[in-house]
Structure 1
Amino acid sequence: MQIDLNGEGIATGAGTLAELLCERCFDADSVATALDGVFVPRPLRAVTPLHPGARVEVLSPMQGG
């Protein structure tokens, strides 16, 4: 299916947000995620289904001041 990942259109075979993170080699323990503009907590990623046209944001924490 086609989705939008961090502003870029991609094709994925992932069915859930957790599968997408694994497929794209993100460190799931150190990123924040949102689906269609709504924050998805880490425990819910495995049960959060993706859909064609989904807008997924994966953000890494930044340090500094």
Structure 2
Amino acid sequence: MTPPPPARTAPAPTTLVNGEPYPLDGALPVADLVARLVPAFAADRTARGIAVAVDDAVVPRSLWETTAVLPGARVEVVGAVQGG
């Protein structure tokens, strides 16, 4: 008798951040996601030169604490770079 195949495990929920898969178990405020990705923001929660879009909609900085990123969302986090 052949043993049953191993149970398949569902893949961990993810979102796309800057085009790359990012594990995300549940809703996460934009501010918390930025804090995970940008150490300078995590230190003092100021967002100079950072912009965020979720599913192609720019999220104003004033809404970062109350706007949730959900599994499956597409997020772009960009930072301004000075130079010339």
Per the TM superposition, whether the score is higher than 0.5 is yes
Q: 2:33 aligns with which of 20, 39, 45?
A: 20
Unaligned runs of 5+ in 1: none
Structure number having the greater helix percentage = 1
Give the counterpart letter for 1:29 in structure 2.
A
Paired residue for 2:9? Answer: none
Match of 1:29 among 47, 50, 56: 47
Give CA-to-partner distance per residue, 1:2-55, whole Å, 9 cap, x none. Answer: 110001011035611111111223535120110000011111011101111111
Partner of 2:82: 63
Counterpart position of 2:60: 41
Cα distance in 1 for partners of 2:38, 2:80 equals 16
Q: What amino acid sits opposite 1:57 in the alignment? A: E
Q: Which runs of 4+ in 1 moved over 4 A?
A: none
Segment drifting more, 16-25 vs 45-54: 16-25
- Which of structures 1 and 2 has the bigger CA Rg? 2
TM-score, structure 1 normalization: 0.82
Higher relative contact order (CA 8 A, sep 6+): 1
Report sequence identity in percent: 37
Q: Distance in 1 between matches of 2:38 and 2:83?
A: 25
Number of aligned pairs?
65
Letter in 1 for 2:15: I
Structure 2 CA distance for aligned equivalents of residues 58 and 33 of structure 1: 5
TM-score (normalizing by structure 2): 0.66
